[in-house]
Structure 1
Amino acid sequence: MEAQSAKSKLPTIGDYYSATQLRADRWSALRETAESLSVHGIEGRQGKKLLATAEALFDVLAPIEVYWAFPGGQSFEHLRRMLDQRNIEDLSISVRRVARALTSGAYRRRTIPIGGDDGDSEDYEDETALAPEDRALGRHYFEVLIVDKVNEHQERFLRNNLHRVRRSEDPFIYEPVIVPSLEDALMGILFNHNVQAVVIRPGLTLKSRNALPLLKQYLSQVSDQEDVDALEPSHYGPEACRLIERIRPELDAYLITDRSAEDIAGLDLGRCRRVFYNQEDFLELHLNILRGVGRRYKTPFFTALKEYSKQPTGVFHAMPISRGKSISRSHWIQDMGAFYGPNIFLAETSATSGGLDSLLEPRGPIKEAQDMAARAFGSKQTFFATNGTSTCNKIVVQALIRPGDIVLVDRDCHKSHHYGMVLAGANVVYMDSYPLHEYSMYGAVPLREIKHTLLKLKAAGKLDRVRMVLLTNCTFDGLIYNVQRVMEECLAIKRDLVFLWDEAWFAFARFVPTYRQRTAMSVANTLRESLRTPEAAAAWEAQHKELEKADDETWLNTRLVPPPDARVRVYATQSTHKTLTSLRQGSMIHVNDQDFKGEVEQVFHEAYMTHTSTSPNYQIIASLDVGRRQVELEGFEFVQRQVESAMAIRRAVATHPVLNRYFKVLTPGMMIPEEYRESGIEAYYDAEQGWSDKWDIWSRDEFVLDPTRVTLTVGGTGWDGDTFKTQILMDKYGIQINKTSRNTVLFMTNIGTTRSSVAYLIEVLVEIANGLDDLLDDASKMERRSFENRVSALIEHVPPLPDFSRFHDAFRGGQDTPEGDIRTAFFLSYDEENCDYLPLDDGLMKRLEDGEELVSASFIIPYPPGFPILVPGQVVSPEILAFMRALDVSEIHGFRPDLGLRVFTKDALKSVAA
Structure 2
Amino acid sequence: MTPVSRVLVVSDDAKWQGEVLAGLGAAAMQLENPFGLSFLGAARLGEAMERVAADGEIQIVLVDKQLGEEGLAQPAVQLANRIIAFRPELSLYILLVDDDQKLLVEEMASHAVDGYFYREELDFSGWFRILTAELAEKSATPFYDRLKQYVRMAKDSWHTPGHSGGDSLKGSPWVGDFYEFVGENMLRADLSVSVPMLDSLLHPTGVIAESQALAAKAFGARKTYFATNGTSTSNKVIFQTLLTPGATLLLDRNCHKSVHHGVILSGARPVYLDSSINPKYGIFGPVSKATLFAAIQAHPEARVLILTSCTYDGLRYDLEPIVEAAHARGIKVVVDEAWYGFARFHPELRPTALEAGADYVTQSTHKVLSAFSQAGMIHVNDPDFDEHLFRENFNMHASTSPQYNLIASLDVARKQAVMEGYRLLERTLRLAQELRQKIDSTGVFRVLELEDLLPEEVREDGIRLDPTKLTIDITGSGFSADELQQALFERYNIQVEKSTFSTVTLLLTIGTTRSKVSRLHDAMLRLAKEKRPRHTPRRLPEIPHFSRLACLPRDAFYEEGERLPLLDDEGRPNSELLGRVCCDQIVPYPPGIPVLVPGQVIDESILSYLARLQKAQKTIEMHGLAGNSGDYVVRVLSSVEFLQLPSRILFG
Q: Which amino acid aligns with 1:318?
A: T
2:346 to 508, 512, 519: 512
Residue in structure 1 matched with residue 21 of structure 2 by the alignment? 159
Tell me, yes or no, if structure 1 residue 479 matches structure 2 residue 315. Answer: yes
Cα distance, 1:263–1:353 mapped onto 2, change above 3 Å:
same
What CA RMSD, in Å, does the superposition of the two structures yield over aligned residues? 2.3
Say whether 1:859 aligns with 2:585: yes
TM-score, normalisation: structure 1 = 0.67
CA distance in 2, matches of 1:374, 1:315: 34
Q: Which moved more, 1:862-871 or 1:326-335?
A: 326-335
Alignment of 1:472-871 (within 5 A): 472-492=308-328, 494=329, 496-517=330-351, 519-524=352-357, 570-596=359-385, 600-654=386-440, 656=441, 659-660=442-443, 662-673=444-455, 676-678=458-460, 702-725=462-485, 727-771=486-530, 773=531, 776=532, 787-788=533-534, 791-794=535-538, 798-808=540-550, 811=551, 821-828=552-559, 830-831=560-561, 834-839=562-567, 844-845=572-573, 847=575, 852-871=578-597
| Structure 2 CA distance for partners of 1:391 and 1:852, relative to 1, 3 Å | closer
Q: Kindly state the Cα deviation for residue 712 of structure 1 after the two structures are TM-superposed.
A: 0.6
Equivalent residues of 1:183, 1:206 under 8 A apart: no
Cα displacement (A) at 1:590: 0.5
Gaps of 5+ in 2: none
Q: How many residues align?
A: 636
Alignment partner for residue 277 of structure 1, among 77, 101, 118? 118
SS at the partner of 2:24?
helix
Which residue number in structure 1 is paired with residue 144 of structure 2?
302
Rounded to whole Å, the distance in 1 between the matches of 2:38 and 2:569 is: 72
Change (3 A) 1:514 1:254: same
SS in 1 for 2:344: helix
DSSP 3-state at the match of 1:857: coil
The 8 Å contact of residues 11 and 64 in structure 2, kept in 1 or not, is answered as yes
Instruction: Determine helix, strand or coil for the equivalent of 2:399.
Output: coil
Structure 2 distance, partners of 1:508, 1:876, is 40
Residue 78 of structure 2 corresponds to 239
Letter of the structure 2 residue corresponding to residue 491 of structure 1: H
**Shift in CA distance, 729/644, structure 1 to aligned 2, threshold 3 Å:** same
Q: Distance in 2 between matches of 1:807 and 1:844?
A: 25
Aligned to 2:40: 177
Does residue 899 of structure 1 match 2:625?
no
Mapped to 2, the partners of 1:241 and 1:840 lie a distance apart of 70
Name the % identity: 34
Q: How many Å separate the matches in 2 of 1:181 and 1:737?
A: 46
1:766 and 1:201 mapped to 2: Cα distance?
Answer: 53
Q: Could you say which residue in structure 2 is the equivalent of 1:467? A: 303
User: What is the alpha-carbon distance in structure 2 between the residues aligned to residue 840 and residue 707 of structure 1?
Assistant: 47
Structure 1 CA distance for aligned equivalents of residues 108 and 569 of structure 2: 72
Q: Counterpart of 1:398?
A: 240
For residues 645-692 of structure 1, the C-alpha deviation after alignment (integer angstroms, 9 at most, x for no partner) is: 2111222233x1xx33x32222111122466445xxxxxxxxxxxxxx
* Greater helix content: 1
The structure with more radius of gyration: 1
Residue aligning to 2:258: 416
**8 Å CA contact retained: 2:91, 2:114:** yes
| 2:87 is the counterpart of 1:248 | yes
Cα 1:595–1:442 shift into 2, 3 Å: same
Q: Which amino acid aligns with 1:326?
A: S
Question: Match for 1:272: what amino acid?
Answer: V
* Counterpart Cα distance in 2 of 1:702 and 1:651: 25
In the TM superposition, what is the alpha-carbon distance from 1:640 to its structure 2 partner?
Answer: 1.7
Q: 2:62 is paired with a residue of what secondary structure?
A: strand
User: Following the alignment from structure 1 to structure 2, what is the Cα–Cα distance between the partners of residues 604 and 643?
Assistant: 37
Judging changes above 3 Å, is the alpha-carbon distance between structure 1 residues 244 and 382 closer, same or farther for their aligned structure 2 residues? same
Question: Which residue number in structure 1 is paired with residue 187 of structure 2?
Answer: 345
* Counterpart secondary structure, 1:730: helix
Q: Distance in 1 between matches of 2:262 and 2:452?
A: 33
| C-alpha distance in 2 between matches for 1:404 and 1:396 | 16
Instruction: Give the whole-Å Cα distance in 2 for the aligned partners of 1:362 and 1:852.
Output: 51
Counterparts of 1:909 and 1:388 in 2: how far apart (Å)? Answer: 35
* Residue 108 of structure 2, aligned match among 255, 258, 267: 267
1:70-219 to structure 2, matched below 5 A, reads 135=1, 139-149=2-12, 151=14, 156-166=18-28, 167-202=30-65, 204-206=67-69
Return the offset for 1:263.
Answer: 4.1
Over residues 367-415 of structure 1, what are the superposed CA-to-partner deviations in whole Å (9 max), with x where a residue is unaligned? 1001111111111111111111111111111111100001111001111
Cα distance, 1:178 vs structure 2? 1.1
SS in structure 2 of the partner of residue 717 of structure 1: coil
Match for 2:511: what amino acid? G
* Aligned-partner residue type, residue 836 of structure 1: L
After TM superposition, give the deviation of residue 711 of structure 1 in Å.
0.5
SS of match in other structure, 1:763: helix
The offset of 1:840, in angstroms, is: 7.0
**More deviation, 252-261/139-148:** 252-261
Looking at structure 1, the residues matched to 106 and 160 of structure 2 have their Cα atoms a distance apart, in angstroms, of 56
Letter in 2 for 1:404: G
List per-residue Cα deviations over 1:752-781 (Å, max 9, x = no partner).
00112112111111100101x2xx5xxxxx
1:883 aligned to 2:614? no
Q: Scaled by the length of structure 2, what TM-score is found?
A: 0.92
In 2, Cα distance between the equivalents of 1:708 and 1:317? 44
Name the CA distance, whole Å, in 2 between partners of 1:203 and 1:352: 56
CA contact (8 A) 2:568 2:574 kept: no
Q: Which has the higher contact order (CA 8 A, sep 6+)?
A: 2
In structure 2, relative to structure 1, the CA distance for the partners of 1:237 and 1:318 (3 Å cut) is same
- Matching residue's letter, 2:621: E
Aligned mates of 2:310, 2:427 — CA distance in 1: 19
Q: Which residue of 1 aligns with 2:216?
A: 374
CA distance in 2, matches of 1:765, 1:312: 50
Q: What is the rounded CA distance, in whole Å, between the counterparts of 1:473 and 1:841 in structure 2?
A: 44
The residue matched to 1:520 in structure 2 has which SS? Answer: coil
On the 8 A contact 2:578/2:607 being kept in 1, the answer is: no
Distance 1:584 1:895 in 2: 28
Q: How far apart are the structure 2 equivalents of 1:273 and 1:402?
A: 41
In structure 2, the CA distance between the partners of 1:883 and 1:436, relative to structure 1 (3 Å rule), is farther
Give the AA of the match of 2:424.
Answer: F
| Amino acid in structure 2 at the alignment position of 1:802 | P
The one-letter code of the counterpart of 1:672 is L
1:899 Cα offset (Å)? 2.8
Cα deviation, residue 322, structure 1: 2.9
Name the aligned partner's letter for residue 724 of structure 1: L
SS of residue in 2 equivalent to 1:255: strand
Question: C-alpha deviations, 1:551-603, integer Å up to 9, x for none?
Answer: xxxxxxxxxxxxxxxxxx7101100001101111101111111011xxx2222
